[in-house]
Structure 1
Amino acid sequence: MKKIIAFLILTQSIISCSNSDDSADDNQISGGKYYAVGSTYGKNKDNNFTQLASVWIDGVPTILSNTASSSVANAVTFYNNDTYIVGTESLNNGNAILKIWKNNTGESLTDGNHTVEATDLTVNEGNVYISGNEFIGTLNSSIATIWKNGQAIRLSDKTSEANAIYVYNNDVYATGYKIIDDKKTAIVWKNGVETVLTSEQDDLESIATDIYVDANAIYVTGYLRNSFKSKAILWKNNSPATLSDENDFSQANALFVHNTDVYVVGCHIDTHQYDFVGKIWKNGTLVKEINGANPKSIIIKNNKIYTAGSGLDEKGMNDEGKIWESNLNNLDFIAKYKFPNNKVNAVLVK
């Protein structure tokens, strides 16, 4: 799942998300249960109502943390029949602690001396990799960071963000952005070495949101934008392709590679009415729209496609967490689960 007002808050949010089809060593999944992570509106230890990090299994919530002022879970993965969830706990001093929950048992990975945020995770050969950001220094700037088994590896010494992570052939990839010449610029880091993603328009800032790697290509989603327009982008081997119409204010949030097909989810944002239309692209072509939706996560399993994020309730008045499901062939999405007053950031199916 930041930093500026109105609709730009959501265009800058990351979602992230348990993204693509990891290698067999990364995720060993079988069965058919829904796992969603986010936050539930409930009471914390001080008896105050707030958002609390939660996991839903087939729609049934379990609160992971209620001992901080608030908390959130941002990503989930499976490895060797264990469930890993990553998120943060906010403290009364304004800082946040990085948390990982293995089979719902939490462990703090930072000490709370500064704020951190988690964006994604994967497990490869027993090693746990988390992408996120540390807010440090006199200006409290974000620094793109990877935690490997709890040890922080900073990807930059300048303002930057890491929004997703992927491990392929023991190489560790992360993506996000870095400030270059006073402009946010999309970046891919491979084992800590950065590559600037090519932009179609140098006058627009670029932000990368998700990544998938296989033997043939590196796929990255994101968007190019300024205050007046935003274009959803899919990079393949650093070659950008625009997904959205020129007049849309759109962004791409996450991707999933299924066989040879590349699926991307994102949204169009009506900047006047502050409304969303969910978008699903297949191989660069728009194949489905979901009114009132902002999907942040996607997975394909057992010939079905699942996406999760926020959507309007039945009255069209308030946002609620949702998981949508469709057969892969007809893309007729239904809201399988709805979570009023709650936030859903990622979904996997086991």
Structure 2
Amino acid sequence: MKRINYLGMLSMALCLMVWACGKDDAPTTTPEPEPEPTAAPTISGFSPISGPVGTAVTIEGTNFSTTAANNTVTFGTVAATVASATATKIVASVPSGAVTGKVGVAVGGKTAASTKDFTVTVTEEEKNPSIGLDKEDFQLFRYDTAELAVVDKVDVDGDSPVAWSSDDEQIATVDENGTVKGLKVGTATITATVEEASASVTVTVDPNIYVAGYVQSSGSRQAVVWKNGVVTELTDGTKEAQANAVFVYGEDVYVVGHERDQDNNRRAMLWINGDQIALSNSLGITSSTAYDVVVNESGYYVVGEQSANAASIGRVWISNANDATLVEPGYETNVPRAISMDDQNNWYVSGYIRQDVDLDYKACYWTAGTAANPEILENDARAYDIQVVGDDVHVSGFRNVDGISAATTWKNGAGTDLTDGTSNSIAYSLFVTGTDIYAAGNDGNNSTVWKNGVVATLLNIDGNTSFAESVFVYGTDVYICGGSLQGDLIKAVLWKNGEPTVFFPEDSPTNNKAFSVFVD
């Protein structure tokens, strides 16, 4: 009896096992995924309509994927993270780097964009206001102007006013419109400020370089003045003319020289900022020319020569006082060449005189108190330039040494030869600064600059004969102007510290020469 029961139980267990295995082998079923929309998505709106980075934005529309990852949401051009999605609603966060622009949704390669912009705002903590300027550091010549403008405004109100400032208004100023004007040589920082943002540039103000002379392309010479290498014609070329000297006072440019009149006689001329003034001739004078000019608060002083027949007399034309006649009684030739002012605004004029054509010239200088009796520096000599510094009177020119013209400078009447006397030489110009005395001229065929009696620089260009006519020292820079023989033509040249600039190219069919340089 017990044995039968065991057999029954075993049979039952086997049946259960077979049933269980049969159940495992039966096919299983999974839910079908929801099909992706086949129509393009649309956006009907979103909220909120503005907010900073990280704001959760609900986008409403149609044909969105219910699978969040299958929706690509952009704010402008920056992709956002999608938090959740249904067929009609997506929630996404404003991504870092987003700027104000359209909201976009892409599903299955099909896209939609909002009709309105989402405005990306910045919290006070996130604001980093900044502006830029449309120029980097730049240069200006004195009295020239340049325009600055604010650009690249970030986190500032576009309508906010711009405040302009200069850290040194003696060097450069800036007005409310951003117009910068150079006033004095040096550097200044110009700053623009808008709300809490600012931007700065450095302006370097350079001196203006003026050179007076002539050009002759065809026909007659024309009087000209160069400013920073740009030429201005003072005459029209119908009559021969020449500019001999230039002087700058404030923003006004004074040039003197001559132009021939209808009778082909030379007439002394003064140009102020390009406007021509014919200087008066004394009674009986048929020809005149102006050689030099100085200007102070009282006005201009122009020195020159007037002639009639074989005689010549010196003249100082004074703008706000009586003119002065420079003569030495009994001398038929009186030729003043340069003028200088002392600290008390007394004028001094250098030149040379001669009793008649059979006698030698004498180097001399006149003063306001000795117009009829000049101070004789030396016999058989000529004086060309003069500069008064304190109580010292400096003159340059040449004197005869054993039949040779020797370039010479005089200080208070004591002469110093600048050459060894082996060739003819002349010092046309001098400039005194501190304890240094510079002179410029020629030694034989060599254009030369002397400093304190010693040759400092030879100025010939490519072995060509050159002519040094004028020297001016500004700071540590030494400027000389003159000319250089290039082929069959003379070319105007400006040297700065020995380096030449030829004002017209070698292949230009133009004769031209420079006689005076002024740096301001």
Cα distance in structure 1, aligned partners of 2:430 and 2:273: 26
Letter in 2 for 1:334: E
Counterpart residue number, 1:96: 266
Counterpart of 2:15 in structure 1 is none
Q: Which residue of 2 aligns with 1:12?
A: none
Q: Which AA in structure 1 matches 2:336?
A: A
Structure 1: gaps (5+ residues): 1-27, 44-48, 270-275, 327-332
TM-score for both structures, normalised by structure 2: 0.54
Give, in angstroms, the shift of residue 227 of structure 1. Answer: 10
Return the alpha-carbon distance in structure 2 between the equivalents of residues 147 and 54 of structure 1. 21
Does 2:338 match 1:164? Answer: yes
Q: Which residue of 2 aligns with 1:311?
A: 484
| Aligned pairs for 1:111-190 within 5 A | 114-136=286-308, 139-149=309-319, 152-156=323-327, 158=331, 159-168=333-342, 169-180=344-355, 182-190=359-367
- Deviation of residue 197 (structure 1)? 3.5
Measured in 2, the distance between the counterparts of 1:288 and 1:322 equals 15
Moved more, 75-84 or 152-161: 152-161
- Given that 1:59 and 1:337 are in contact with CA atoms closer than 8 Å, whether structure 2 keeps it comes out as no
Distance verdict in 2 for CA 1:233–1:197, change over 3 Å? farther
Q: Taking structure 1 as the reference length, what is the TM-score of the superposition?
A: 0.79
* Cα shift readout 1:167-200 (whole Å, capped 9, x = no counterpart): 111211001011148321011111141444443x
Post-superposition Cα deviations, 1:203-235, rounded to whole Å, max 9, x if no partner, equal xx1100000111141100010138941001110
Residues 365 and 377 of structure 2 are in contact (CA less than 8 Å); yes or no, is this contact kept in structure 1?
no
For 1:186, the aligned partner's letter is: A
The CA deviation at 1:118 is: 1.0
**Segment of structure 1 superposing worse, 61-70 or 164-173:** 61-70
Note if contact 1:209-1:254 (Cα within 8 Å) is conserved in structure 2: yes
State yes or no: 1:34 paired with 2:209. yes
Q: 1:111 to 1:142 in 2, by over 3 A?
A: closer
2:467 aligned residue:
294
Q: Does 1:284 align with 2:438?
A: no
Give, in whole Å, the separation in 2 of the partners of 1:82 and 1:75.
Answer: 14
- Cα distance in structure 2, aligned partners of 1:170 and 1:34: 25
Contact kept in structure 2, 1:185 and 1:196, CA below 8 Å: no
Letter in 1 for 2:495: W
- For 1:150-180, what per-residue CA distance to the aligned partner results, in whole angstroms no more than 9, with x for missing partners? 8542111531100000111121100101114
How has the CA–CA distance of structure 1 residues 220 and 183 changed in structure 2, closer, same or farther, with 3 Å as cutoff?
Answer: same
Q: Is the alpha carbon distance of 1:248 and 1:256 closer, same or farther for their aligned partners in structure 2, counting shifts above 3 Å?
A: same
Does structure 1 conserve the Cα–Cα contact (< 8 Å) formed by 2:221 and 2:237? no
Aligned residue in 2 for 1:239? 414
- Does structure 2 retain, via aligned residues, the 8 Å contact 1:155–1:192? no
Q: Is the 8 A contact 2:459 2:466 kept in 1?
A: yes
The answer for unaligned runs of 5 or more in structure 2 is: 1-182, 186-205, 505-509
CA deviations 1:296-320 (Å, max 9, x no partner) are 111111421110011122x5x5321
Q: How far, CA to CA, are the matches of 1:173 and 1:253 in structure 2?
A: 17
* Cα distance in 2, alignment partners of residues 185 and 233 from structure 1: 13
- Structure 1 residue matching 2:215: 3-state secondary structure: strand
- Which residue of the partner structure matches residue 322 of structure 1? 493
Q: Give the length in aligned residue pairs.
A: 298
In terms of fraction of residues, the more strand-rich structure is 1
1:263 aligns with 2:435: no
Q: CA deviation at 1:42?
A: 4.4
Residue 178 of structure 2 corresponds to none
CA distances 1:255-275 after superposition (whole Å, capped 9, x unpaired): 011221010111023xxxxxx
1:338 aligns with 2:503: yes
Alignment of 1:159-238 (within 5 A): 159-168=333-342, 169-180=344-355, 182-193=359-370, 194-199=373-378, 205-225=380-400, 228-238=403-413
> Is the 2:220–2:237 Cα contact (8 Å) retained in structure 1?
no
Residue identity matched to 1:166:
S
The residue identity in structure 2 corresponding to 1:308 is C
1:28-59 residue CA offsets vs partner (Å, 9 max, x unmatched): 9754222111111146xxxxx21011111122
Three-state SS of the structure 2 residue aligned to 1:248 is coil
RMSD: 2.3
Q: CA 1:67–1:266 in structure 2 vs 1: closer, same or farther (change >3 Å)?
A: closer
Q: Which residue is equivalent to 2:235?
A: 65
Distance 1:145 1:222, change over 3 A: same
- Paired AA for residue 242 in structure 2: V
Instruction: Give 1:124 shift.
Output: 1.7
State the AA in 1 paired with 2:478: I
1:288 Cα deviation after fit:
1.8
- AA in 1 matched with 2:381: S
Shift of residue 81, structure 1, vs aligned partner: 1.4
Are the aligned partners of 1:29 and 1:78 in contact in 2 as well (CA < 8 Å)? no
Relative contact order, CA 8 A, sep 6+: which one is greater? 1
